[in-house]
Structure 1
Amino acid sequence: MDEEHQQTASTWPQPPSFWKDFTPDSVSRFEDLQKETAERLGVQDPSTIRLENLPRELRNLQPPPEPEDGAWRVFSDTYRLQNELPQLDDGQIRRLFPNSEERDQDGKHFDRATILKRLAKSLLLNFLELTGLLATNPEAAHEKITDIRDLFINFHHLINEYRPHQARESLISMMQSQLDRTRAETNGIRDAKDKAERVLEGLSSLTIQDQAHDTSLEKDDRYGPDGEAWAMLME
């Protein structure tokens, strides 16, 4: 029981020990070496320089170089610098639509929306045929299941080709929202500025006599209807 609990408690590995090398003193020394090397080589950005023959305590502060083949493994999964969409031919999957570089016979451009609609209709038709085969001849349903599998894979592959377009549209929408928010804040600042200028213009138009008159009125209001008599007595 204790061994089982110990295995469950240590599922995640401990952090690597080189985090102790990232001290303020080491980081400052590493940045100074980068600046000195950049000045000697005439490079504008010191962070792009890769230093050689670093001391042992500063080696972990420099990121490792990019893999030569453009691929690396993390937790048994392979990642690539260029994340390309795998082709259907590479997985020996039957392609049910033409390549994006090709065109239809009538000369129109490659339309993914029309092909997606056709694949959706084909999926519904093949599913109905599959239900009929399962009722009459279940042994012959294997070929129809393979057709449905190919339809789903082609459908999913065609949707994945929309990902770059989706990313661009999402970025455009996010930037447009940020622009609208900035414009609204700018208009609010301008409105507050105009209001402050109108208030200052109103205050600057007041003369000393007007201010004295306003002060006397305030005194009259303060002492009620006998304010004038009280003011005469005070004089």
Structure 2
Amino acid sequence: MAEGQGVSAFPLPPMQYVNMYTDDNVKRGRALPPPPIIPDTFMMFGANFNANDAIIRPLETQGFRRLHAHNYDHKRELKKLNHSILVNFLDLLEVLIKAPESQKRTEKIEDLNLLLIHMHHLINEFRPHQARETLRVMLEVQKKQRLEISEKFQKHFEKVKELLQNSLSSLPDDFSLDSKALVKSELLKAEIKSEPMAMDVEPCDHLDRMMCDIVDSM
């Protein structure tokens, strides 16, 4: 991007955005600006929401009439709502068969709508509990996996430890080898000193002499 050209209107991949956000680009004003602050009030799915509102708002604040008490049993109310929805649906079918243009058809549809909204609201009240249970199950699965890994590691550790102990116990008490295969360095040094080298003979390296003595002694 040339200097003074401005920020491109096309969206960038995440890594390109990160690479552009450098100190030099910030000083020159070439980095993308931070996203705007979310306002307290916003619209989503055609409804107005406030960021300070509770996640699960009461029915009265949403403009719906409450059909159950404030203190209630979720299971019992859900069963009652399910039964009421079934009964009102059958009543709606009867109205559609006998008098489809009757006012009762609109009333039954409104009743079904209100009952379904209440059921949806009660189900949403279980969402925090569902999230906690999901998190608890995930943590239990992770704990189980880590315990299995630690048990496998402990088994391998015990197996390696046992192999090392068996290897150490199988070693002989004395490590003395055949005397014919051993050449003492002191004797070799004394032998080398006792044999004067002739001037007309090419001197022999002491390492070669040691190898020859080892071969002869075998």
TM, length-normalised to structure 1:
0.57
* Residue type of the alignment partner of 1:94: R
- The answer on 1:70 being equivalent to 2:40 is yes
| Cα distance in structure 2, aligned partners of 1:56 and 1:75 | 40
Cα distance change, pair 70–58 in 1 and its aligned pair in 2 (3 A): farther
- The answer on 1:123 being equivalent to 2:91 is no
| Cα distance in structure 2, aligned partners of 1:155 and 1:76 | 21
Deviations 1:53-108 (A, max 9, x none): x73427646x45644x4345799997765562343223322221223xxx3xxxxx
Q: 1:203 aligns with which of 163, 167, 170?
A: 167
Q: What's the RMSD between the two structures over aligned residues?
A: 3.7
Cα distance change, pair 21–95 in 1 and its aligned pair in 2 (3 A): closer
Cα distance change, pair 14–121 in 1 and its aligned pair in 2 (3 A): same
- The answer on 1:132 being equivalent to 2:94 is yes
Write the mapping of 1:1-235 to structure 2, written as runs, cut at 5 A. 14-15=10-11, 22-23=18-19, 27=22, 55-57=27-29, 60=32, 63-64=34-35, 66-67=37-38, 69-71=39-41, 81=51, 84-99=55-70, 103=71, 110-138=72-100, 139=102, 140-208=104-172
Could you say which structure has the higher helix fraction? 1
Aligned residues: 164
Percent identity, please: 29
**Contact in 2 for aligned 1:71/1:80 (Cα 8 Å):** yes
Instruction: Report deviation, 1:28.
Output: 5.4
**Contact in 1 for aligned 2:22/2:31 (Cα 8 Å):** no
Larger Rg: 2
**Contact in 2 for aligned 1:130/1:145 (Cα 8 Å):** yes
Q: List alignment gaps of at least 5 residues for structure 1.
A: 1-12, 31-53, 104-109, 212-234
